Amino acid sequence: MTDKIKALEAEVAAYLITDAATREAFRLKFLAKKGEIMPLFDEFKSLPNEEKRVVGALLNKLKTAAEERFKSSESLSAKAESVDGFDFSRPAVSSFSGSLHPLNQVRSQLIDVFSRLGFEIATGPEIEDDWHNFTALNMPEDHPARDMQDTFFVQTDPAVVLRTHTSPVQIRTMLAQQPPIRIIAPGRVYRCDSDATHSPVFHQIEGLYIAKDVSFADLKQVLFTFVKEIFGEGLGIRFRPSFFPFTEPSAEMDIEWIKNGESSWMEILGCGMIDPNVLRNCGIDPEEYSGYAFGLGVERIAMLKYGIRDIRLFYENDVRFLSQFESGTV
Ligand code: DAH
Protein backbone atom coordinates (compact mmCIF):
# COMPACT_ATOMS: atom_id res chain seq x y z
CA MET A 1 0.00 0.00 0.00
CA THR A 2 2.86 2.37 0.74
CA ASP A 3 4.10 2.00 -2.81
CA LYS A 4 0.69 2.78 -4.19
CA ILE A 5 0.45 5.92 -2.05
CA LYS A 6 3.88 7.08 -3.17
CA ALA A 7 2.95 6.53 -6.84
CA LEU A 8 -0.25 8.49 -6.37
CA GLU A 9 1.61 11.29 -4.66
CA ALA A 10 3.88 11.61 -7.69
CA GLU A 11 0.86 11.55 -9.98
CA VAL A 12 -0.89 14.30 -8.01
CA ALA A 13 2.17 16.48 -8.19
CA ALA A 14 2.66 15.96 -11.92
CA TYR A 15 -0.97 16.24 -12.99
CA LEU A 16 -1.46 19.08 -15.46
CA ILE A 17 -4.33 21.34 -14.53
CA THR A 18 -4.72 23.90 -17.30
CA ASP A 19 -8.40 24.80 -17.30
CA ALA A 20 -11.75 24.12 -15.67
CA ALA A 21 -12.11 20.81 -17.48
CA THR A 22 -8.75 19.35 -16.45
CA ARG A 23 -9.36 20.64 -12.93
CA GLU A 24 -12.65 18.75 -12.78
CA ALA A 25 -10.95 15.63 -14.17
CA PHE A 26 -8.36 15.97 -11.38
CA ARG A 27 -11.11 16.20 -8.76
CA LEU A 28 -12.85 13.10 -10.07
CA LYS A 29 -9.63 11.13 -10.26
CA PHE A 30 -8.21 11.98 -6.84
CA LEU A 31 -10.79 13.60 -4.56
CA ALA A 32 -14.14 12.04 -5.42
CA LYS A 33 -15.54 9.30 -3.22
CA LYS A 34 -14.92 6.74 -5.89
CA GLY A 35 -11.62 8.30 -6.96
CA GLU A 36 -8.19 6.84 -6.38
CA ILE A 37 -7.62 8.12 -2.83
CA MET A 38 -10.84 7.75 -0.82
CA PRO A 39 -11.16 3.98 -1.24
CA LEU A 40 -7.65 3.69 0.25
CA PHE A 41 -9.10 4.89 3.57
CA ASP A 42 -11.40 1.84 3.60
CA GLU A 43 -8.48 -0.41 2.80
CA PHE A 44 -6.54 1.30 5.58
CA LYS A 45 -9.13 0.18 8.15
CA SER A 46 -8.33 -3.46 7.59
CA LEU A 47 -4.57 -3.03 8.01
CA PRO A 48 -2.82 -4.56 11.03
CA ASN A 49 -2.46 -2.01 13.81
CA GLU A 50 1.32 -1.77 13.62
CA GLU A 51 1.13 -0.62 9.96
CA LYS A 52 -1.69 1.83 10.54
CA ARG A 53 0.48 4.58 12.02
CA VAL A 54 2.89 4.85 9.10
CA VAL A 55 0.36 4.27 6.36
CA GLY A 56 -2.15 6.59 8.01
CA ALA A 57 0.34 9.43 8.00
CA LEU A 58 1.24 8.83 4.37
CA LEU A 59 -2.38 8.63 3.36
CA ASN A 60 -3.26 11.90 5.08
CA LYS A 61 -0.29 13.55 3.45
CA LEU A 62 -1.46 12.38 0.03
CA LYS A 63 -5.00 13.59 0.61
CA THR A 64 -3.82 17.00 1.79
CA ALA A 65 -1.49 17.31 -1.20
CA ALA A 66 -4.35 16.55 -3.58
CA GLU A 67 -6.68 18.98 -1.81
CA GLU A 68 -4.06 21.69 -1.92
CA ARG A 69 -3.40 21.24 -5.60
CA PHE A 70 -7.10 21.41 -6.23
CA LYS A 71 -7.49 24.54 -4.17
CA SER A 72 -4.52 26.31 -5.67
CA SER A 73 -5.93 25.87 -9.16
CA GLU A 74 -9.15 27.59 -8.16
CA SER A 75 -8.62 30.51 -10.50
CA LEU A 76 -9.03 28.13 -13.42
CA SER A 77 -12.47 27.02 -12.39
CA ALA A 78 -15.35 28.49 -14.31
CA LYS A 79 -17.02 29.74 -11.17
CA ALA A 80 -14.07 31.06 -9.29
CA GLU A 81 -13.27 34.71 -9.12
CA SER A 82 -9.92 36.14 -8.20
CA VAL A 83 -9.46 38.65 -5.42
CA ASP A 84 -10.00 41.70 -7.57
CA GLY A 85 -13.18 40.27 -9.00
CA PHE A 86 -11.74 39.28 -12.35
CA ASP A 87 -12.62 35.81 -13.48
CA PHE A 88 -9.53 34.46 -15.21
CA SER A 89 -11.35 31.35 -16.29
CA ARG A 90 -13.82 33.23 -18.46
CA PRO A 91 -13.48 32.30 -22.13
CA ALA A 92 -11.59 34.94 -24.03
CA VAL A 93 -13.53 37.24 -26.30
CA SER A 94 -12.63 35.83 -29.67
CA SER A 95 -10.97 38.37 -31.86
CA PHE A 96 -12.69 39.33 -35.10
CA SER A 97 -10.76 38.22 -38.10
CA GLY A 98 -11.38 39.90 -41.41
CA SER A 99 -11.46 38.29 -44.82
CA LEU A 100 -11.11 39.30 -48.43
CA HIS A 101 -13.92 41.41 -49.85
CA PRO A 102 -16.16 39.33 -52.16
CA LEU A 103 -15.16 41.53 -55.11
CA ASN A 104 -11.50 40.87 -54.40
CA GLN A 105 -12.21 37.16 -54.12
CA VAL A 106 -13.90 37.09 -57.52
CA ARG A 107 -11.22 39.33 -59.01
CA SER A 108 -8.53 36.93 -57.78
CA GLN A 109 -10.42 33.93 -59.15
CA LEU A 110 -10.69 35.62 -62.55
CA ILE A 111 -7.03 36.57 -62.57
CA ASP A 112 -6.16 33.02 -61.60
CA VAL A 113 -8.15 31.51 -64.48
CA PHE A 114 -6.72 33.86 -67.11
CA SER A 115 -3.18 33.54 -65.74
CA ARG A 116 -3.41 29.81 -66.22
CA LEU A 117 -4.41 30.49 -69.81
CA GLY A 118 -1.21 32.46 -70.30
CA PHE A 119 -2.44 36.06 -69.79
CA GLU A 120 -0.17 38.54 -68.06
CA ILE A 121 -1.44 41.41 -65.93
CA ALA A 122 -1.26 44.94 -67.30
CA THR A 123 -2.33 48.17 -65.64
CA GLY A 124 -3.12 51.73 -66.66
CA PRO A 125 -4.11 55.00 -64.99
CA GLU A 126 -7.63 55.60 -63.68
CA ILE A 127 -7.29 59.26 -64.65
CA GLU A 128 -7.03 58.90 -68.41
CA ASP A 129 -6.91 61.21 -71.36
CA ASP A 130 -9.61 61.43 -73.95
CA TRP A 131 -7.39 59.95 -76.67
CA HIS A 132 -6.61 56.67 -74.86
CA ASN A 133 -10.11 56.30 -73.45
CA PHE A 134 -12.06 57.11 -76.64
CA THR A 135 -10.32 58.34 -79.80
CA ALA A 136 -7.65 55.65 -80.13
CA LEU A 137 -10.39 53.06 -79.57
CA ASN A 138 -12.10 54.24 -82.75
CA MET A 139 -14.48 56.54 -80.86
CA PRO A 140 -13.67 60.02 -82.18
CA GLU A 141 -15.20 63.12 -80.67
CA ASP A 142 -18.98 63.29 -81.22
CA HIS A 143 -19.14 59.55 -81.95
CA PRO A 144 -22.55 58.39 -80.66
CA ALA A 145 -20.95 55.42 -78.83
CA ARG A 146 -19.52 57.92 -76.37
CA ASP A 147 -23.04 58.57 -75.06
CA MET A 148 -23.17 55.17 -73.39
CA GLN A 149 -20.03 55.97 -71.47
CA ASP A 150 -20.71 59.38 -70.06
CA THR A 151 -18.18 60.01 -67.36
CA PHE A 152 -16.57 62.58 -65.12
CA PHE A 153 -14.65 65.20 -67.04
CA VAL A 154 -12.29 67.68 -65.50
CA GLN A 155 -13.71 71.15 -65.99
CA THR A 156 -10.42 72.92 -66.53
CA ASP A 157 -9.19 70.29 -68.98
CA PRO A 158 -11.90 68.37 -70.85
CA ALA A 159 -9.24 66.09 -72.31
CA VAL A 160 -8.79 64.50 -68.87
CA VAL A 161 -11.39 61.90 -67.88
CA LEU A 162 -11.88 59.23 -65.28
CA ARG A 163 -11.61 56.16 -67.50
CA THR A 164 -14.97 54.67 -68.44
CA HIS A 165 -13.59 51.20 -69.12
CA THR A 166 -10.35 49.24 -68.95
CA SER A 167 -10.06 49.25 -72.75
CA PRO A 168 -7.51 52.13 -72.79
CA VAL A 169 -5.06 49.64 -71.25
CA GLN A 170 -5.26 47.84 -74.61
CA ILE A 171 -3.95 50.99 -76.30
CA ARG A 172 -1.22 51.58 -73.73
CA THR A 173 -0.03 47.97 -74.01
CA MET A 174 -0.02 47.95 -77.82
CA LEU A 175 1.95 51.18 -77.87
CA ALA A 176 4.49 49.79 -75.42
CA GLN A 177 5.12 46.35 -76.87
CA GLN A 178 5.01 44.45 -80.14
CA PRO A 179 2.90 41.29 -80.63
CA PRO A 180 2.51 38.62 -79.51
CA ILE A 181 0.58 40.30 -76.70
CA ARG A 182 -1.57 38.44 -74.22
CA ILE A 183 -2.76 40.52 -71.26
CA ILE A 184 -5.60 41.06 -68.87
CA ALA A 185 -6.12 44.44 -67.23
CA PRO A 186 -8.12 44.45 -64.03
CA GLY A 187 -9.09 47.82 -62.61
CA ARG A 188 -11.53 50.43 -61.43
CA VAL A 189 -13.67 52.35 -63.91
CA TYR A 190 -16.12 55.27 -63.68
CA ARG A 191 -19.45 56.19 -65.24
CA CYS A 192 -22.38 58.51 -64.64
CA ASP A 193 -24.64 55.65 -63.60
CA SER A 194 -26.25 54.79 -60.32
CA ASP A 195 -28.97 52.27 -59.52
CA ALA A 196 -29.35 48.74 -58.14
CA THR A 197 -27.22 47.25 -60.91
CA HIS A 198 -24.98 50.20 -61.82
CA SER A 199 -22.46 52.01 -59.72
CA PRO A 200 -20.54 55.21 -60.59
CA VAL A 201 -17.38 53.32 -59.65
CA PHE A 202 -17.03 49.66 -60.53
CA HIS A 203 -14.49 47.10 -61.68
CA GLN A 204 -13.68 45.57 -65.02
CA ILE A 205 -11.23 43.09 -66.42
CA GLU A 206 -10.06 43.64 -69.96
CA GLY A 207 -8.54 40.89 -72.06
CA LEU A 208 -6.38 41.34 -75.14
CA TYR A 209 -4.63 38.84 -77.38
CA ILE A 210 -2.73 39.80 -80.52
CA ALA A 211 -0.63 37.44 -82.62
CA LYS A 212 -0.58 36.00 -86.14
CA ASP A 213 -3.77 34.29 -87.35
CA VAL A 214 -5.87 34.83 -84.24
CA SER A 215 -9.50 33.95 -84.91
CA PHE A 216 -12.89 34.26 -83.26
CA ALA A 217 -12.66 30.53 -82.47
CA ASP A 218 -9.65 31.26 -80.21
CA LEU A 219 -11.70 33.89 -78.41
CA LYS A 220 -14.62 31.50 -77.91
CA GLN A 221 -12.40 28.80 -76.49
CA VAL A 222 -10.88 31.12 -73.91
CA LEU A 223 -14.29 32.44 -72.87
CA PHE A 224 -15.80 28.94 -72.63
CA THR A 225 -12.98 27.95 -70.30
CA PHE A 226 -13.47 31.06 -68.19
CA VAL A 227 -17.22 30.40 -67.72
CA LYS A 228 -16.61 26.75 -66.87
CA GLU A 229 -13.96 27.64 -64.28
CA ILE A 230 -15.97 30.40 -62.61
CA PHE A 231 -19.55 29.10 -62.78
CA GLY A 232 -19.02 25.37 -63.18
CA GLU A 233 -19.68 22.83 -65.87
CA GLY A 234 -22.76 22.63 -68.09
CA LEU A 235 -23.99 26.25 -68.34
CA GLY A 236 -25.51 27.37 -71.62
CA ILE A 237 -23.52 30.08 -73.40
CA ARG A 238 -24.43 32.17 -76.41
CA PHE A 239 -22.85 34.94 -78.45
CA ARG A 240 -25.07 37.76 -79.70
CA PRO A 241 -23.90 40.10 -82.46
CA SER A 242 -23.30 43.54 -81.01
CA PHE A 243 -21.43 46.75 -81.68
CA PHE A 244 -18.32 48.20 -80.11
CA PRO A 245 -16.31 50.79 -82.06
CA PHE A 246 -13.01 49.07 -81.29
CA THR A 247 -13.94 45.54 -82.41
CA GLU A 248 -15.22 44.14 -85.69
CA PRO A 249 -17.11 41.85 -85.56
CA SER A 250 -18.34 42.46 -82.00
CA ALA A 251 -20.40 40.25 -79.76
CA GLU A 252 -21.89 40.10 -76.32
CA MET A 253 -21.70 36.84 -74.47
CA ASP A 254 -24.65 35.65 -72.39
CA ILE A 255 -24.82 32.78 -69.98
CA GLU A 256 -27.98 30.84 -69.27
CA TRP A 257 -29.43 31.62 -65.90
CA ILE A 258 -32.13 29.77 -64.00
CA LYS A 259 -34.36 32.25 -62.20
CA ASN A 260 -37.43 30.97 -60.30
CA GLY A 261 -37.18 27.72 -62.20
CA GLU A 262 -37.17 29.51 -65.53
CA SER A 263 -34.18 29.87 -67.74
CA SER A 264 -33.12 33.30 -68.90
CA TRP A 265 -30.00 34.76 -70.50
CA MET A 266 -27.69 37.18 -68.73
CA GLU A 267 -25.18 39.30 -70.55
CA ILE A 268 -21.78 38.95 -68.93
CA LEU A 269 -19.27 40.53 -71.27
CA GLY A 270 -18.50 42.30 -74.52
CA CYS A 271 -15.91 41.00 -76.95
CA GLY A 272 -14.80 40.90 -80.56
CA MET A 273 -11.96 40.93 -83.06
CA ILE A 274 -9.85 44.07 -82.78
CA ASP A 275 -10.77 46.64 -85.39
CA PRO A 276 -7.89 47.19 -87.86
CA ASN A 277 -8.16 50.94 -87.18
CA VAL A 278 -7.27 50.36 -83.54
CA LEU A 279 -4.24 48.26 -84.50
CA ARG A 280 -3.14 51.01 -86.91
CA ASN A 281 -3.59 53.69 -84.22
CA CYS A 282 -1.03 51.77 -82.19
CA GLY A 283 1.44 51.12 -84.98
CA ILE A 284 0.58 47.45 -85.49
CA ASP A 285 0.10 46.24 -89.06
CA PRO A 286 -3.39 44.66 -89.41
CA GLU A 287 -2.19 42.76 -92.47
CA GLU A 288 0.31 40.92 -90.33
CA TYR A 289 -1.46 40.60 -87.00
CA SER A 290 -4.97 40.03 -85.75
CA GLY A 291 -6.37 39.79 -82.27
CA TYR A 292 -9.35 39.65 -80.00
CA ALA A 293 -10.41 41.61 -76.93
CA PHE A 294 -13.02 41.22 -74.25
CA GLY A 295 -14.20 43.23 -71.28
CA LEU A 296 -16.18 42.01 -68.31
CA GLY A 297 -17.60 43.55 -65.15
CA VAL A 298 -16.33 42.03 -61.91
CA GLU A 299 -19.45 43.11 -59.96
CA ARG A 300 -21.70 41.52 -62.57
CA ILE A 301 -19.86 38.20 -62.28
CA ALA A 302 -19.92 38.32 -58.47
CA MET A 303 -23.65 39.18 -58.44
CA LEU A 304 -24.46 36.22 -60.68
CA LYS A 305 -22.18 33.85 -58.85
CA TYR A 306 -23.57 34.65 -55.40
CA GLY A 307 -27.14 35.71 -56.28
CA ILE A 308 -26.67 39.32 -55.13
CA ARG A 309 -29.38 41.63 -56.41
CA ASP A 310 -28.11 45.06 -55.41
CA ILE A 311 -24.65 46.25 -56.44
CA ARG A 312 -24.58 48.81 -53.62
CA LEU A 313 -24.18 46.02 -51.05
CA PHE A 314 -20.59 45.66 -52.24
CA TYR A 315 -19.67 49.18 -51.19
CA GLU A 316 -21.59 49.59 -47.92
CA ASN A 317 -19.20 47.27 -46.10
CA ASP A 318 -21.86 46.03 -43.72
CA VAL A 319 -20.22 43.23 -41.75
CA ARG A 320 -23.43 41.16 -41.88
CA PHE A 321 -23.04 41.08 -45.66
CA LEU A 322 -19.27 40.69 -45.80
CA SER A 323 -19.10 37.90 -43.21
CA GLN A 324 -21.10 35.67 -45.55
CA PHE A 325 -18.02 35.49 -47.76
CA GLU A 326 -15.58 34.77 -44.94
CA SER A 327 -14.36 31.41 -46.13
CA GLY A 328 -12.74 33.00 -49.13
CA THR A 329 -9.08 33.41 -48.51
CA VAL A 330 -7.71 33.65 -51.96
N1 DAH B 1 -15.16 48.43 -72.97
C2 DAH B 1 -16.48 47.87 -73.15
C3 DAH B 1 -17.42 48.48 -72.11
O4 DAH B 1 -16.98 48.87 -71.09
C5 DAH B 1 -16.46 46.38 -72.94
C6 DAH B 1 -15.74 45.69 -74.05
C7 DAH B 1 -16.42 45.25 -75.15
C8 DAH B 1 -14.38 45.48 -73.98
C9 DAH B 1 -15.79 44.62 -76.19
C10 DAH B 1 -13.72 44.86 -75.01
C11 DAH B 1 -14.46 44.41 -76.13
O12 DAH B 1 -12.42 44.63 -75.01
O13 DAH B 1 -13.79 43.79 -77.13
O14 DAH B 1 -18.58 48.54 -72.36
Q: What is the DSSP string of 52-104?
A: HHHHHHHHHHHHHHHHHHHHHTGGGSSS---TTS--TTSPPPPPP-----HHH
For atom 13 of ligand 1, the residue with the nearest CA is: 271
- State pLDDT tens for residues 175-225: 999 999 999 999 999 998 888 889 999 999 999 999 999 999 999 999 999
Q: What is the CATH number of domain 102-325?
A: 3.30.930.10
For the Cβ of 165 lying below 6 angstroms from any atom of ligand 1, the answer is: yes
What is the distance between the alpha carbons of residues 224 and 230, in angstroms, rounded to a whole number?
A: 10
- State pLDDT tens for residues 25-57: 999 999 999 999 999 999 999 999 888 888 999
Rounded to whole angstroms, what are the CA distances from 302 to 99, 163, 247, 254?
16, 22, 26, 15
* Residue of 188, 244, 248, 299 to test ligand 1 pocket, by largest number of atoms within 8 Å of CB: 244
DSSP assigned state of 166: S
Q: Give the bridge partners for 211, in sequence order.
A: 290
247 Cα to the center of ligand 1, angstroms: 9
Confidence of residue 78 (pLDDT cuts 50, 70, 90): low
- State pLDDT tens for residues 124-179: 999 999 999 999 999 988 888 887 777 777 777 878 999 999 999 999 999 999 99
Domain range annotation of the chain: 2-85, 102-325
| Beta strands at 120-121 and 181-190: parallel, antiparallel or unpaired | parallel
For atom 7 of ligand 1, the residue with the nearest CA is: 270
167 Cα to the center of ligand 1, angstroms: 6
Q: Is the pLDDT of residue 316 over 70?
A: yes
Confidence of residue 79 (pLDDT cuts 50, 70, 90): low
For the Cβ of 134 lying below 6 angstroms from any atom of ligand 1, the answer is: no
194-198 long-range contacts, CB within 8 A, separation 24+: 196/309, 196/310, 196/311, 196/312, 197/303, 197/310, 197/311, 198/311
Q: Measured from the CA of 295, which atom of ligand 1 is nearest?
A: 8
* Rg of the chain taking only CA atoms, in angstroms: 36
Cβ-contact 250, 272 below 8 angstroms: yes
103 Cα to the center of ligand 1, angstroms: 20
For atom 5 of ligand 1, the residue with the nearest CA is: 295
What is the distance between the alpha carbons of residues 34 and 37, in angstroms, rounded to a whole number?
A: 8
Q: Tell me the Ramachandran region of residue 164: left when phi exceeds 0, alpha when psi lies from -120 to 50, beta otherwise.
A: alpha
53 Cα to the center of ligand 1, angstroms: 97
For the Cβ of 168 lying below 6 angstroms from any atom of ligand 1, the answer is: no
pTM here is 0.72
